[in-house]
Amino acid sequence: SALDEAHARGVFHRDIMPANIFKARTAGGEVIKLVDFGLAALRDADEKLTKLNMVMGTPHYMAPEAAEGGAATAAADVYSLAAVAFELHDAPSVMGILTAKVTEAAPRVSDVTVRPLPKALDAIFADALSRDLARRPKTASALMKRLRAVALRESAPPSLQVVKVRRNREARSTEPALPAVA
């Protein structure tokens, strides 16, 4: 919801990554907070001031169009959010990561996880991590709605834990990439 609110106000984060997402306790309960808008861009701002045509962000979570120096968009932020949930690119160099983003399709969740997950996640992440912007969910909330629907349909607990994986499929971790989303 924080990402959707920023987008509604014409602000694109450009650096969605695990270190910028926190679970916080508030008087109303636990909430997920999105922080560090240091690389943020404004939709209608002068490109010279915001450097929209430069590669900015953390390569592991960057959308393919951002890796090619494209303008900041909501679609790029949604891609980055999906990449946080599904750690997909691991290469020996930054250029290797960026090259993989613009030349390779994201792997299927079912092919790289250490334990079985619902097959429906393949389609959700294929869309969210697609180089084709038209396939991506239009908002972060739309992505989360699809993930929650799978969790409910599979009689899973009300949160999803996404497994962090590495491209070479040898080094795997079962640590969640994000705190569980309730």
Catalytic machinery residues:
15
Cα distances (Å, whole numbers) of residue 162 to 85, 88, 95, 159 = 6, 11, 26, 10
Is 11 in a helix, a strand, or coil? strand
Q: For residues 12 and 74, is the Cβ–Cβ distance under 8 A?
A: yes
Distance CA 62, CA 79 (A): 7
Distance of alpha carbon 120 from alpha carbon 139, whole angstroms: 19
In terms of DSSP bridges, do strands 21-26 and 11-12 run parallel, antiparallel, or are they unpaired? unpaired
* Residues 11, 181: Cα–Cα separation, whole Å: 23
Residue 30 and residue 98 in contact, taking contact as beta carbons nearer than 8 Å? no
Residues 84, 61 contacting (CB under 8 angstroms) = yes
